[in-house]
Amino acid sequence: MPLIVPPLWPAEVVPWGVGFVTAIVLMASLAKGRDRKWTLGALAVLIGSTVASWFCYQPAAIFLYGLRDRFVAQVGYPAMRQFAQEFSQSDSLPMAQKQWDDLGRQYPFLRWPVMARARITRQGAVKVEWGSPLVGHWGFEVAGEGTLTVPEKDRGLVLKVADDVQFVYDYD
């Protein structure tokens, strides 16, 4: 679940809002003629940090490292591989709801934060992902046999943690 700050703003909006309000206050202070030297310096720092954040801040990359850490702490790569093997050897793809519910009970990570969806990719890997068209999709891929390759035309970010396991964030 994304971090929400009252009154129901996504946490990503808060720094921009604080920066905007700070810029207004600094410009008002500059217009009144108070401490022009310090006000101009503070305004320059604010503008510089805003520009730097546009070019340097990658929330999706940070998100992938957090996703990896949660899987390492709560699931482990062997359980992810076991799920991928069990899913790819399922008798009926797409699965019936009862089969998916049984997998959800056996592998609780399929219910983070809501029901995940899984599919087999063109490379034969099992891809599990969450998300929506507005925020993108995130999850992991596990190769059944062999290694995963990072696609050249990637629509997102990939964090490869083993030859057969990688975490992905796809933009829509």
- The sign one gets for the Cα dihedral 46, 52, 54, 56 is negative
Spell out the per-residue pLDDT of the chain, length 172, in tens: 455 556 666 666 667 777 888 888 888 887 887 778 888 888 888 888 878 877 776 777 778 888 899 999 999 999 999 998 888 887 666 677 788 888 888 888 888 766 678 888 877 788 888 887 667 788 899 987 777 776 655 667 888 898 899 998 887 6
Q: Which of 67, 88, 71, 69 is nearest to 79 (CA)?
A: 71
Q: Which residues sit opposite 130 in a β-bridge?
A: 138
pTM of the model: 0.66
- Beta strands 136-142 and 9-10 are unpaired
Q: How far apart are CA 124 and CA 144, in angstroms?
A: 7
Cβ distance 130 to 138 under 8 Å? yes
